[in-house]
Amino acid sequence: MSHEQQQVNTIIIGAGLAGLSAAKALKENGKSYKLLEATNRAGGKVQSKVSVDGSDYVELGAQFINEDMIEMVRLIKDSGMTLDHTYLADDAVIINETKDEVGYINFAHHAEMLKDRSFIENHSLSEVVDQVIEDDIEVKAIKSFVAAEFTVSSDYINPKALKRLIGNITLEEDEVKYQASGPLSQVIDYLVNISGTNLLYEEPVEEIQKTEDGYIVKSKTGNEFTAKAVVIAVPPTVARRIQFSQNLKERFYPALNSFIDGAVIKLIFTYEEPFWRQIMIDGEKKNLFGVLFGEEEGVNVMESSKKEGANRLTMFIGGDKAIELARVTAEERNSFAVNRLAQVLGDRIVDYQSVEEKVWVDSPYYGGGYGGLTHFGGNFEAKRALKEPFMNVVFASTELAPAFPQFMEGAVRSGKYAVEQLLTQSYKK
C-alpha cells in the first residue's frame, strides 16, 4: 500500500462536472488543489461512447441543453464545439400507449387545487397526486412523467422539496432544443486539461479527518492528502458513504440522509429512416415528439436525432421500473423496450441499425439517476445545509445547484458556487 502526503490548499472529491468546475474556479483564483476521482475517467454522468474510427458517437448519459444554460453553452464553445438543433418538428405531440395525446402537465395548477395546505407537509407526492386528481389516466400520466423526468418514483418524493426544485428550473426554451456538435467528452477533456496533473484517477475517497489546521483526506488506495479546505463534489447519497470526523458527521449527516438516489436506464436506437415522425391520431396526421407510457410508470421514448444527423429514438426508463429492469439481462431489457415501442410505433421498430444502453442504477459513485431528490420524510431544507461551507468543508453537485438542479448546468454552477463561498467565507479567516 502506497502512502502519499500531499499538502494543498483545497482537496476536491469527484471529477464530474461539479468537481471539474470547482477546480477551474480554484485555478482561476490562484489556489492550489488536488482533484481526486474514484474511477479511471472524469465526467461522471457525462459519458460519450465514440466509435472506434471516431466517426460516430452516442451520449450514454447527459445529452441535451438549451440556451438558458449559459455556463454549459460557454463550455461547449470553449471546447471547440457549437450547438446543433435537435430535430423538433412544429407542434410535435407526446402520446401515450393508446395513442392519446398527453397534455401539458401543470404542477403549479395542481398544487393550487390542494385545499388543505398541510396535506403537502405530511404526504408523499404520489398521495398528493391521488388526492388532487380524479381521472385515473391523468394520475398515471403524471406519476409516469415524474418517474421519467426525476428518475424517482413519486411514492418517495417530498412534494414541498420538489416544488422548490421546480422553482429553480426556469426554462425559457425547450430543454432538449440543442445538443453539442460533437461528443460531450470534449467538454470533459477541456476541463481535465485545465487541471492537468492536479487530477488524480482511481482515488476513491473513503474518509475525511479533521486535524488542527485542516483536513486529511484518505483514499481507498492508502494515499492521504492534507488541505485547509475540502469540496465534496459527489452526489449527496454517494457522499453519505464517506466516513466523516464527528463534528462534520453531526453537521452534515441529517442533510445527506434526506436524499434518495434516482434510477435511470437509457437505450438509444439508431434507424436508417425516421419512420415514426408522422403518426395518425384520431384520423389526423401529427408530428410525433415522443411517447409517455402510463401503464409502465417512468418509461418514455423521445426523438433524439439532430436535424442533420443519425435518426435516433431514445428510451428513458426511470424510477422503480428502472430498478426492476436493472435486475434482468440486457436481452430482456431490450425485448421490454422493443415490445413497448412496437405497441405504439409498429413493427418497423425492430429494424434498428444499432442499439446502445447504459444502466445507471445503483452506481456506487454516480448515484443512479439524473440526480438524487429529497425523499418523503427528509428535510426539505437539506440542500441549504450542504451548499454553505462549515469549517472549510462544502458540498457541490447538481442536486445543490442554485439554478438548474438535476441538469449539467446545475452541476457546473454548483461547483463554481462552492468555490465562491469558500473564497468569501473561509479562506479569508
Mask: binding to ligand FAD, 215-254, rule CB under 6 A, as x and -?
------------------xxx--x---x------------
* Euclidean distance between CA atoms 127 and 124, whole angstroms: 5
- Per-residue cell: 237: 447519497
Spatial CA neighbour of 353 closest among 266, 288, 273: 273
- DSSP classification of residue 4: -
**What one-character DSSP code corresponds to residue 22?**
H
**Strand, helix or coil for residue 275:** coil
To ligand FAD, the closest distance from the beta carbon of 32 in angstroms equals 19
Q: Interface residues for ligand FAD in 105-124 (CB under 6 A)?
A: none
43-72 residues near ligand FAD, rule: CB under 6 A: 44-46, 61-65
User: What's the rounded Cα separation, in Å, for the pair 413 and 252?
Assistant: 21
CB nearer ligand FAD, residue 65 or residue 128: 65
Measured from the CB atom, the residue of 44 and 290 that comes closer to ligand FAD is 44
Helix or strand holding residue 219 (H, E): strand 215-219
How many Cα atoms occupy the beta-carbon half-sphere of 210 within 13 Å?
A: 11
Please tell me what DSSP assigns to residue 15. -
Close Cβ partners of 251 (under 8 Å, ≥ 6 residues apart):
385, 390, 391
Closest CB 119 distance from ligand FAD, rounded Å: 30
Q: Which of 205, 260, 325, 418 binds ligand FAD (CB under 6 A)?
A: 205
Does 204 sit near ligand FAD (CB under 6 A)? yes
Number of chain positions touching ligand FAD (CB under 6 A): 42
Minimum Å gap between C-beta 235 and ligand FAD is 5
Proportion of the chain in helix, strand, coil states, percent, rounded to 5: 35, 25, 40
Interaction with ligand FAD in 311-370: which residues (CB under 6 A)? 360, 365-367, 370
| Amino acid type, 233 | A
40 vs 329 by CB, closer to ligand FAD: 40
Q: Which of 407, 416, 417, 422 binds ligand FAD (CB under 6 A)?
A: 407
Residues contributing to the site for ligand FAD (CB under 6 A): 13-19, 36-39, 44-46, 61-65, 204-205, 233-235, 238, 242, 264, 266, 360, 365-367, 370-371, 397-398, 406-411
